[in-house]
Amino acid sequence: MVRAFLEGYEQGGAPNPCLACNRTIRWEFLLNHALALGAESMATGHYARRREDGQGSFQLLRAFDPKKDQSYILHLLTQEKLARALFPVGEYAKSEVRELAARFGLPTADRAESQDLCFLAGEDYRQFLKRNAPQIGRPGEIVDQAGRVLGQHQGLAFYTIGQRKGLNLASSTPLYVIGKDRSSNALVVGIKEELGSRELHATEVNWIAGRPPEGKLHLEVTLPCH
């Protein structure tokens, strides 16, 4: 997981190691271990829902609480794995889950929320990268789309597409990160209207149904973020 995290940033991406963890640890090692012990299903704390379509197939649905939905991180599931999955908190709002935890005397009832990666242990990911992959933090120029140099960045891995704060640029118009040029180690910025893209290159696509849907698709894309 950590190696994939470091390599992802080194290649210019914004990796989500939770996907790799779910694939290899939770839905491979742990599920197989549970089945070997005689379990029929495995429950997790993901905010997501599962529905059987009445024809022996299963669908992965968003959680009841849209602000806590984690269905996107479970896109790697197959029909075989989804058939074994249970998501008991997916039908509740987060506030209801806290109320239930308090009612049952669970110590997590009042625990502060955390979205940090488990192996960071509260450390900022930038410091983790600097310590474990110092070559990633190579400073370079901040430029606009015309190539004009506007400032200096501290390392491409420390910036996210769409980021506005933390650029330390003097400009009368708000500027956003709109791209990264790895060949020249340049961070490309632009105005809000220059954000967005008409193309997307997707890898490791998994169709939960076991096959791609037919016909033209209208998709909503969720990108990983920090």
Residues 6+ apart with CB under 8 A from 120: 128
Alpha helices by DSSP H, the chain = 2-10, 17-21, 31-36, 79-82, 94-103, 125-132
Question: Residue 91, Cβ neighbours under 10 Å: how many?
Answer: 13
Phi-psi region of 28 (alpha: psi -120 to 50; beta: other; left: phi over 0): alpha
| Residue 5 pLDDT exceeds 60 | yes
Per-residue pLDDT tens for 183-201? 999 999 999 999 988 888 8
Buried b (16+ CB within 10 A) or exposed e, 47-86: bbbbeeeeeeebebeebbbeebbbbbbbeebeeebbebbe
Per-residue pLDDT tens for 79-113? 999 999 999 999 999 999 999 999 999 998 888 88
Q: Is the CB of residue 84 less than 8 Å from the CB of residue 42?
A: yes
Question: pTM of the entire structure?
Answer: 0.79
Q: Name the residues annotated as catalytic.
A: 21, 118
User: Mind listing the domains of the chain with CATH numbers?
Assistant: 2-120 (3.40.50.620), 138-194 (2.30.30.280)
